[in-house]
Amino acid sequence: MTSSREIINKMFLGQAVSALPRGEMSLSDGLVKALTGSAPVSFDTHIEVMSHLGFDYCCISTLRGREGKAQLPPDFKQKVTSAERAGLFVFALVGGVLSDLMNETGWVSLLVSIRKMPGHYAAAAQLRAERESSVIRACKDAGVSGIVVGDDLGYSAGPYISPQDYDRLVAPAHEVLAQAAHPLPCVLHSDGAIGKLLHSIGRAGFAGIHPADGILPRDAHEAGLVVLGGFPSTDLCLLSPAEVYARATRYAKEAEGPHILGSSTGFLDEEMPAENLRALYEALSDAERELYPDAGHTRVRPRLQTSFENR
C-alpha cells in the first residue's frame, strides 16, 4: 500500500507511479463552506474536504501575518501535523525574490532597476533569498514534505525578464532557496507565460513548476520539472458539471510525464462553483480507477461531520 506522500515523493524522484496524483494548493473558507455547509470553517475542515475529494497534497502558507519577518505563523506546526495525519503531502508556501521586490517598488520601477542598476537588484534579491532560507529551514523543522516558492515571473504575453537576465540576476537567489529546501523538492509557483524560462528554472534547482498555465507539459519535462496543475480554470468556472467531468476525464487520460493533476490556478476561492470542483475530482478519481485498476495504494479520506456527500 502506498500513501499520497510516497506517490508524490516518487514522482519528484523520477520513479513510475501507478496513480494519478492530484490536488490544489488551497481552498478558500468560502469554497469549503459551499462544499460542506459547515460554519465556522476550521483548518481541519479544509483537510477533511481535501481528503474526501481525493487530494494528495496541500500547501500551507508561511506568509500571512509575517510582516516581512523570517518567522512562521504560530499555528503553522499544528496545521502541518493535521495535514500529515490525513496522509497528505504537505508543501509550505514561502516568499520569492522578484515578487517581493515588485510589491515593494512597483513593477515598472523594478524593471527599470533590473535594466539600469542590475547590481543593486541582484544584491537585494540575495538578501531576500537569505531571509526566506531561514523560513524554509523552519518549515523543514516543522515536518513539511516540500517547499513552494511564490515568485511571479511573467504576464500573459511572456516573462517579465529575459532568460539571460534571469540567469544573471534572479537564478543565484533562487539557487539559495532551492539549496535551503534540499533534500525536499522545491517547486516554483509563477503565474504568466514563462515557458522561455523553464530550462533556467530547472538549472536553478527547482524540481517542479506550478501552475501549468500557458506551459506545455513536455517543455517542462524536458527542463527536468514536474508539472503541477493544468486543467483550465476558465473551464472549471464556466462549464456545467457534466462538461467539466468530460473534459477532466480527457485531461487525466492525456496527461503524460511527471504530472500532478489539478486546476491551472491552484488557489481556489468561493467564485469557483463547488459542484464543478466536485465534478473535476470525481473525474480524476474515476480515470485513475480505469487507468490503474490494480493500483496498490490507498488515500486517507476521513469521514466529514457534515452533509458533504449529499450536497
Confidence of residue 311 (pLDDT cuts 50, 70, 90): very low
How many Å apart are CA 261 and CA 51, to the nearest integer? 15
Return mean pLDDT, the chain. 87
How many Å apart are CA 261 and CA 284, to the nearest integer? 8
How many Å apart are CA 89 and CA 76, to the nearest integer? 15
Convert the pLDDT of each residue in 112-138 to its tens digit: 777 777 787 888 889 889 989 999 999
Residue whose C-alpha cell reads 534547482 in the numeric block: 205
Q: Contact at 8 Å (CB) between 164 and 175?
A: no
pTM of the model: 0.90
How many Å apart are CA 75 and CA 114, to the nearest integer? 37
Confidence of residue 79 (pLDDT cuts 50, 70, 90): very high
State the average pLDDT over residues 249-264.
Answer: 93
How many Å apart are CA 151 and CA 89, to the nearest integer? 21
230 phi and psi angles, rounded to 5 deg: 140, -20
User: Which CATH fold would you assign to the domain 56-228?
Assistant: TIM Barrel (3.20.20)
Instruction: Tell me the CB-side half-sphere exposure of residue 63, using CA atoms within 13 A.
Output: 13
Convert the pLDDT of each residue in 169-196 to its tens digit: 899 999 999 999 999 999 999 988 899 9
For residue 57, what is its C-alpha cell?
497534497
At 307 the pLDDT is 45
Convert the pLDDT of each residue in 102-113 to its tens digit: 777 776 777 777
Between 301 and 148, residue with greater pLDDT = 148
How many Å apart are CA 31 and CA 36, to the nearest integer? 9
220, pLDDT greater than 90: yes
Structural domain boundaries of the chain? 56-228
> How many Å from the N-terminal Cα to the C-terminal Cα in the chain?
31
How many Å apart are CA 104 and CA 100, to the nearest integer? 6
CA-CA-CA-CA dihedral for 131, 133, 134, 135, to nearest 10: 90
